[in-house]
Amino acid sequence: MSQLDFFSGGERPTVRKPEGHAHVSSAGRAPVGASEFASEFASVDAETRRALLSELEQSISECTLCKLHSTRNTIVFGEGHPDADVMFIGEGPGRVEDQTGRPFVGPAGELLTRIIENGMGVPRTQVYIANVVKCRPTIDLKFERDRPPEADEVRACSPVLLRQIALIQPKVIVTLGNPATKFLLNTTRGITGLRGQWSAYDGIPVMPTYHPSYVLRQSRTDSGRAKKEVWSDIKQVLEKLGWPIPGK
């Protein structure tokens, strides 16, 4: 398989099976760490983690902490394996996600799934996928055009994400695009300057990369540059985890 085959559709290769709220700053960025949460769950088994994630999801099922609740159809909590080695974090749900209650299931989600299954060689169900905010942000709350979440929305919702990270305790986090990267790394730098470089959140290695929707948009104009850069970032994740690079 060539380095970019996972961006295309078609038959997937056989996949392998891999062996309460935090404080958020007034700027809507992640705190320096959430170790007080992580220490609670260090010795918890997968089924207990799954149950705790379910309890967390139920606890926000009627959330009204920010204005996004007024237009949502459903909260998009996140999904995946409670003991996932890799956690992907985006900015917020889109139209299809709001309709289905599942993260990354629209066109950008289809690309992310190919990256995970064709590029990384694992089932999507073996990673965990979530967003910084759990309700769809749209321009002027008209529910027509998506937009990045605003600072007050991030402040209200991101403690849920921090709790998810603490429960799952992934070995690597991949942030997808500017909002997720800026929040988790507590930075004002943009994704272009940060992607492909390892950073960390609370001791967990973080690899920032482009959001799949950006890759889809750029694929018409940049001769595959964004795809190549995402593949380069994903290979670094595989190397960090000690997983084989498919086709290598």
Given this model, what pLDDT does residue 202 score? 95
Q: Cα dist. 242→19, 125, 236, 237, 245 in Å?
A: 11, 19, 10, 9, 9
Residue 138 DSSP class: B
Low-confidence stretches of the chain (pLDDT < 50) are 1-4, 10-27, 31-33
Token pair recorded at residue 236:
């670094």
CATH fold of 36-241 reads: Uracil-DNA Glycosylase, subunit E (3.40.470)
Q: Return the amino acid letter for 96.
A: V
For the chain, domain boundaries: 36-241
CA distance 233 to 220: 21
CB 131 within 8 A of CB 161: yes
pLDDT in tens, 2-35: 444 555 554 433 333 333 344 444 445 554 445 5
CA distance 183 to 27: 9
Given this model, what pLDDT does residue 32 score? 42
CB 1 within 8 A of CB 231: no
Given this model, what pLDDT does residue 41 score? 73
Given this model, what pLDDT does residue 23 score? 41
Q: Which of 184, 232, 187 is nearest to 206 (CA)?
A: 184
What are the backbone dihedrals phi and psi of residue 201, each rounded to the nearest 5 degrees, phi first? -125, 115
Given this model, what pLDDT does residue 186 score? 96
What is this structure's pTM? 0.87
Count of CB atoms situated within 10 Å of the CB of 236: 18
pLDDT in tens, 48-67: 999 999 999 999 999 999 99
CA distance 99 to 126: 23
